[in-house]
Structure 1
Amino acid sequence: MIKSALHLSCFCILVWCGTVLNPVFALENCEFPAIFNFGDSNSDTGGLAAAFNWTPTPFGETFFHRPAGRFSDGRLIIDFIARSFDLPFLSAYLNSLGSNFKNGVNFATAASTITPPAVYYSSRWI
């Protein structure tokens, strides 16, 4: 427990030093025409709801004032990133009917994995 807290503290200090003490500035303004997000449940903008037509509450109703198919009750980090580049919120890839992918797409889907739940390595289950 103490060892993991120490590692976390060291990581936070390194991130702080890298961002505050050595900032990086672009030489010119960057303009991105689109964002393609490959993520997981933390950035799902409605992929699971589009696939199964079901999402548990709160649906994203607080910010959007209607069910938005999200697993959060407001905007996600990917929404703030899109707004910072003056792009619209990303549509879920699985919600392709009526969506415009000109400004990017969100491939993130809640509960998605890249490996089976139990993977067998050498002579033990991980």
Structure 2
Amino acid sequence: MGSQTSPTIQPRGSPPHPILVVDDELAIVVMLQDVLEDAGYPVLTASNGRAALAIANQTTLALVFSDMMMPQMDGDTLCQALRADARTAELPIILMTAARRAPPACAATAVLAKPFDIDVVLELAQRHYR
């Protein structure tokens, strides 16, 4: 008999485009990557906004989860840059923040307060994955 593999969980209406997770805290990147991949989503990661923008320029993305406070380029600036590009203007962007401050200047799809519940992350992914 051949080897048997368990079926992959496929997100509802899943196109093959990845979710981009952007955070300068490696533990958060790894945790989100594990959770999203376990749910069947392809995931790419970046440690700052500049690296994320480079990935977005080379890859068609389905969704972005980005931290707000990062070195080199923060999440708000990344969001503004993605909104300004016709290829990514409609891309769903979830900004994550522990800061209790004014909402981001960019038109983020949603803001996720840190610390966050994994179920909320999965709900946002399912709702906005395109």
Structures share fold, TM-score greater than 0.5: no
TM-score interval, smaller chain:
under 0.3
Q: Which has the higher contact order (CA 8 A, sep 6+)?
A: 1
**Structure with the larger strand share:** 2
TM-score normalised per structure 2:
0.26
TM-score by length of 1: 0.26
